[in-house]
Amino acid sequence: MLCWIEVDLDAIANNVRALQAAAEPRQGVTAVVKAQAYGMGAAAVANAAVQAGARGAAVARVSEARRLRQAGFSEPLLLLGGLDPEDHADAVALKLTATVSDWQTAEGLARAAHAAGEVANVQVKVDTGMTRYGAPPDEAIAIVRGLQRLPSLHLEGFYTHFAAADDPDPFFAHQQLARYRAICQQLEADGIELGLKHAANSAGSLRIPGAGLDTIRTGIALAGGYATGWVPRVGSLRGAVALKSRVIRFHTPAVGSSIGYGRTYKVFRPMRVALIACGYADGLPRACSNRGRVLIRGERAPLVGTVSMDMAMADVSHLPDVEIGDEVVVLGPQGADEISLDEFAESAGIIPHELLVRLGSRAPRLYVRNGQPVSQANLACDDLTEYACASST
């Protein structure tokens, strides 16, 4: 392979256990695997998380849930996003727990569940300050009470979402948690069983004491990443993703010449440049041009010239032993050094979440356990090849 993404399933499992130890959710972690588990591959990550103790998974759209079910994932699956009316029947058939934030959705799901002879699980989301998908408190309270009149729906949970748990000052997140708790107490005082109560994303679970509640919804932390530098570092979280490529040729450009599109790098000294089979279509952002670093033979090499769609170039003048075919690490460890997710995101000028979901679908995902490959997935066409010789434990 010339360019590939390695996902360490042992690290995923380790991170699930670390988050559960840090936040102490009463019923375990909910693994957020929307957008192909932030580029890692939803099916493999969801299964690894559940095997490590997660209670289930969450996605944003019905299409994502369908792919997971088709891949054999049978655990609880929370649908975080909105529903088109034409998706109500599919949500019921796929045994999803849909999020309800308006009465029309509740009625539509109730009709679909009744027609299928099912009782469908739903969760109600209350907006305590995010001002996004979620019902204002008064509406959320009315929806919860109204669900008592819809026998084809079962209220599985009641939740909210932090808007600024990763900010320098977490005061607003504390306010949101207090508002949420007050609403829960008001409903429970009426004898309503709310089921799963949850509020925390990855940042909230590590930043806001007492936010673990029944479950935490964690996405970026599964990959061993943090939303911002303000989120406390849990020493036991491990990076789970590596973007790797290979050297495919060398250049010795003349002094005064230029490198790459737009001639953004002018050659001012004799140098040796390695051409790398990885570009922005694979997840190396163009914004890393002339500022990012890669690892080759355990040493750092600066990117020179503009990163193109399929290739990038690195100055290896200080690494005379580098050869064609050598492994190049764009993200992840090599030898005693590492290009961390935080560093990679900073060089690209984006947050770690966006960086991961930009990982290109054409680069195959190689899943490893105990340092050995156990499976490979091509997210572009959903094929999966099992490595018969590899251990699955």
Q: Which residues are catalytic?
A: 34, 261
Structure tokens at 354: 């966006």
Q: In angstroms, rounded to a whole number, what is the distance separating the alpha carbons of residues 120 and 317? A: 62
What is the C-alpha to C-alpha distance for residues 316 and 322, in angstroms, rounded to an integer?
8
- Residue 82: CB partners within 8 Å, gap ≥ 6? 99, 101, 105, 133
DSSP 390: S
Distance in angstroms (rounded) separating the CA atoms of residues 372 and 8: 9
Q: Using DSSP, state whether 181 is helix, strand or coil.
A: helix
Helical residues (DSSP H) of 232-291, grouped into ranges: none
Rounded Cα distance, 252 and 258, in Å = 11
Q: How far apart are CA 102 and CA 81, in angstroms?
A: 12
Is 86:92 a contact under the CB 8 Å cutoff? Answer: no
Q: Are 34 and 67 in contact (CB under 8 A)?
A: no
With residue 11 as reference, give the H or E element that holds it. helix 9-23
Structure tokens that stand for 384 in this block: 């999966």
Amino acid at 26: R
Give the orientation angle of helix 9-23 with respect to helix 42-51, to 10 degrees.
50
Q: Which residues contact 329 (CB under 8 A, 6 or more apart)?
A: 242, 243, 244, 294, 295, 296, 339
Residue 30 near residue 351, CB atoms below 8 Å:
no
In sequence order, the 6+-apart residues with CB closer than 8 A to the CB of 373 are: 366, 367, 387, 390
In 139-157, which positions are buried (b, 16+ CB within 10 angstroms) versus exposed (e)? bbbebbebbeebebbebbb
